[in-house]
């Protein structure tokens, strides 16, 4: 594993404006090193059927991931679509990212 890619993970919280409407607020985030992986054809196809496009996959250290829902990589924002931790390699958590513009379109 290379661990040469930098990814910024952020939480998104909901606040309410004076009219009672939800206003998303993003925290500053935490930047950490990650290992970029390829998205397999089968996973890509299944995500497409569900209305999403898997864009990127990364391995991050489990100890550094605390349930963030947004990610930024190379200046572009993504939604954390799925996380996966294998019992054989519990030190790593795999993050699957989707284009944030697709949120709510599935």
Confirm whether 22 is domain-assigned.
Answer: no
For the chain, the 3-state helix, strand and coil shares in percent, each to the nearest 5, are: 15, 50, 35
Q: Convert the pLDDT of each residue in 15-54 to its tens digit.
A: 777 887 777 666 678 999 999 998 765 665 565 666 666 5
Confirm whether 35 is domain-assigned.
Answer: yes
Confirm whether 24 is domain-assigned.
Answer: no
Confirm whether 59 is domain-assigned.
Answer: yes
Confirm whether 74 is domain-assigned.
Answer: yes
Please tell me the predicted confidence (pLDDT) of residue 106: 43
Q: Convert the pLDDT of each residue in 62-97 to its tens digit.
A: 999 999 999 999 998 899 988 999 888 899 999 999
Confirm whether 20 is domain-assigned.
Answer: no
Confirm whether 21 is domain-assigned.
Answer: no
Please tell me the predicted confidence (pLDDT) of residue 59: 95
Specify the number of domains making up the chain.
1
Can you give the CATH number for the domain in which 46 is found? 2.40.10
Confirm whether 17 is domain-assigned.
Answer: no
Owning domain of residue 93: 5-12+29-102
């Amino acid at each position: 594993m290379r661990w040469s890619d930098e990814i910024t993970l952020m939480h998104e919280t909901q606040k309410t404006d004076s009219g009672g409407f939800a206003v998303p607020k993003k925290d500053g985030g935490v930047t950490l090193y990650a290992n970029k992986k390829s998205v397999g054809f089968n996973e890509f196809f299944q995500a497409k059927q569900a209305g999403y496009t898997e864009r990127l996959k990364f391995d991050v250290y489990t100890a550094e991931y605390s349930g963030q829902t947004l990610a930024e990589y190379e200046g572009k924002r993504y939604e954390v679509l799925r996380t996966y931790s294998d019992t054989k390699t519990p030190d790593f958590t795999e993050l699957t990212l989707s284009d944030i513009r697709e949120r709510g379109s599935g």
